[in-house]
Structure 1
């Protein structure tokens, strides 16, 4: 059992090849030596075994040629036909796939949750494992199936309504902690809470109604554990949690819970530039949430707009934004789920701004970011405010306003330090790239140093 300090220091493998090397204990030089050796055995000639080549492969900058891939496949005992069947780097042996084969039953939900509790914390794969048809099937299948009753269980200690209420009351606290401290800091706490709820689902005595409430709590905990993992850079772990969260939402018979899970999956896919998959999942989220409150539907519609924007589809993007504005205009309702109450006018403006960034139109993006970050009514959540300040700063650089960009980035720094985030680390890198031509300015050099430390 690794200690907490060892866990925090454990590496995240952002590229499948890095994960494969770690599993075999290979250095970069050992990797290229193995490739050169097996290339000679295949009769494809001598290959220069320079470690710099492998370093570029792991940075996603360069794809090795087919001869190199075949030699690597031989070194890894991977059949050669897989190299042609799956594009680089998907054919690499990077561990088990995200399981999506659990039955859509209460017992299947318990099995799905048990499969991820604890184990997902140890998953170091910082890349997606679930894409394409398998992802589309997961996103689209569960809402079409009728949920089965959660039959009363009489196998363990009786669950009281008071205990259920206590579990439910902690969910907003955990959501707030995750935003204030960052996903890497709190994902263990969320996973432990999910383990408790999973154990109750598996071993306690409860009624059908109580079982549905437990399933709903499990779904939100798994969603939040997935989001914390995504924020910390553990992307395969995030997908594992979210697959289980969809099962629990189905058992709870609350489609909107599943729609919120799919919304998170959409944002992760956009981070990885998986635009078609993102739109597929965003569509499934809207379909699952069609009976939910207007504010929930507004939240889902604006994520669909972002997916259309990433694809460069102005017309459908505009239509989705119009739908979001219409739904949001209907106001708050008492039956709004607690997890959607963050989606107020300021958050709506922030998401619209991000949509215009995707479209490459900085002027409206600037206007909406300003509204989202307004000191009197803007976003106060620590990590989200850091995100939007950094993104707004990048927009101001694009508009030629270096002074305003500098001020916005400085505002973001204390938030970045308070709530570390791998996702925001990527955004810091984007901003630093935009600022690079201006590093002759002493202010920018100092800012760049501080941004690099916060990434």
Structure 2
């Protein structure tokens, strides 16, 4: 085994007291729900903190810990200062700036998959440094493809988590190309590996399917729609092969979203309905709420206002039941801000611009500012809705706030949306603030917008 140099965290271990790691993880999840957070804490996470593998928690865990232990700081909990983790503070003062994705805040959410498939035991799966714009030195082979154990499955699961963390902050454009390499390695394990336990095999299927969806989402967000469609179909096939309704529901959820974004609303509705059928036995109201909103988006695209309103009503009812332990880990993004945003998009598709703008504005106010990609998306939606509602000066102000974030967000989808919103504003260039916005947009994007 390669030494990680981790320093144990006895302060955090003392806080656990006589509780088992699983019991302590359950207490952390309960505390998260008290403040509206959603963390996928389990015994393995507790072990990683206590062993020192996690030197500083991500922002969601930080909020939960400070709520759970009032009056204590992260240092009191045994964590390192955020700016010192992996020497980021030193690098920042020493030389040229790194690309945005490489400036994430902690070990848990840094360097995307810097060493996501770790060399462990006799199996070297892949070592994958992801960079904006792609590029990877990964090997897609394994030295012993016939034995699959905890190390390999954990590597796949870690790949999924890190892709999601970095995507939340920076968008998919810079991550997609490199992320396809660990995906191929994961499916190579499925094709040729033999797990010692059925539970390990199930986790590997689920992990590979979730990785396919995550890579599909990076393709979706970066405008590679056919690639996204292929990855989502791959995940759906994996789900059905493994008899995994949770993975099936997730694959249908993303397929519905993609169909809506690519002008196939009827397919969007069908996929969302299929996802709801798969999800009903799982016991997650939040998952049903999201799938109902996917259906609402498809119905809005069909111009079916009454059907859209019914689906939104079901979504809000289900969402109001609150989070629970049955909610999938990947749904951490689905908070009230996202609910408001998805409803805004429905009203926008139906041409009710002012109503859409109200919901988009609520989404912005509710969104955690650390999730830069989503904040840029919500502000872009608001810009579009205000422009179409004839509120040009307000739209220009919203557009400036999107431009403030674009140097940190690499999402072709968001840039395409902003281009559409800007074109809608162009005829109003004499309104207060609009000309200045159009000039700034042209300078940032390199594209002139004509009336």
Same fold (TM over 0.5): yes
Partner of 1:433: 423
Shift of 1:159: 2.4
> How big is each residue's C-alpha offset from its partner over 1:327-379, in whole Å with a ceiling of 9 and x where there is no partner?
111111123111112111111111111111111112221221111100x6556
Equivalent-residue separation in structure 1 for 2:326 and 2:266 (angstroms): 33
Q: Does 1:177 align with 2:166?
A: yes
Q: Which residue of 2 aligns with 1:367?
A: 358
Which residue among 375, 385, 402 is the counterpart of 2:392? Answer: 402
Q: Is the CA contact 2:286–2:323 (under 8 Å) kept in the aligned structure 1?
A: yes
Deviation of the 1:321 alpha carbon: 0.6
1:167 to 156, 181, 184: 156
* Alignment partner of 1:330 is 2:324: no
Structure 2 Cα separation of the partners of residues 387 and 337 of structure 1:
23
Please say if residues 248 and 278 of structure 2, whose CA atoms lie closer than 8 Å, have aligned partners that are also in contact. Answer: yes
Equivalent position to 2:439, from 440, 446, 455: 446
TM-score by length of 1: 0.62
- TM-aligned CA deviation for residue 448 of structure 1: 3.5
1:1-80 equivalences under 5 Å are: none
1:7-44: per-residue Cα shift (whole Å, max 9, x none)?
xxxxxxxxxxxxxxxxxxxxxxxxxxxxxxxxxxxxxx
Check if 1:294 corresponds to 2:282: no
**Contact (CA 8 Å) 1:371, 1:378: kept in 2 or not?**
no
Of 205, 216, 219, the match for 2:194: 205
- Whether 1:229 aligns to 2:219 is yes
Match of 1:263 in 2: 253
Pick one of 318, 321, 345 that aligns with 1:354. Answer: 345
In the alignment, the residues of structure 2 paired with residue 448 and residue 156 of structure 1 have an alpha-carbon distance, to the nearest angstrom, of 51
How many residue pairs get aligned? The number is 302
- Alpha-carbon shift at residue 444 of structure 1 (Å): 3.4
Residue 300 of structure 2 contacts residue 349 of structure 2 at CA under 8 Å; is this kept in 1?
yes
Which fold has the larger relative contact order, with Cα–Cα distance below 8 Å and residues 6 or more apart in sequence? 1
Whether the 8 Å contact between 1:413 and 1:454 is mirrored in structure 2 is no
Deviations along 1:407-441, whole A, 9 cap, x unmatched?
Answer: 21111113333222221232122112211112245
Note the aligned Cα RMSD (angstroms): 2.4
Does the CA-based 8 Å contact 2:169-2:370 persist in structure 1? Answer: no
Q: CA deviation at 1:302?
A: 0.6
Shift of 1:162: 4.0
CA drift of 1:280 comes to: 1.8
| Larger helix fraction of residues | 1
Paired residues of 1:212 and 1:251 also in contact (CA < 8 A): no
The structure 2 residue matched to 1:313, chosen from 304, 317, 335, is: 304
User: What's the secondary structure of 2:327's corresponding residue?
Assistant: coil
TM-score between the two structures when normalised by the length of structure 2? 0.63
In structure 2, how many angstroms separate the alpha carbons of the residues matched to 1:239 and 1:188?
16
* In 1: Cα distance, 2:427 partner to 2:206 partner: 50
Give the secondary structure class of the aligned counterpart of 2:356: helix
Q: Does 1:277 align with 2:277?
A: no
Query: 1:418 and 1:156 mapped to 2: Cα distance?
Result: 39
How has the CA–CA distance of structure 1 residues 365 and 210 changed in structure 2, closer, same or farther, with 3 Å as cutoff?
same
Post-superposition offset of 1:454: 8.5
Match of 1:422 in 2: 412
Within the candidate set 235, 249, 260, 2:239 is matched to: 249
Q: Is the 8 A contact 2:380 2:402 kept in 1?
A: yes
Q: Does the CA-based 8 Å contact 1:372-1:378 persist in structure 2?
A: no
Contact 1:298 / 1:327 at 8 angstroms: preserved in 2?
A: yes
The 2-side partners of 1:221 and 1:453 are apart by 35
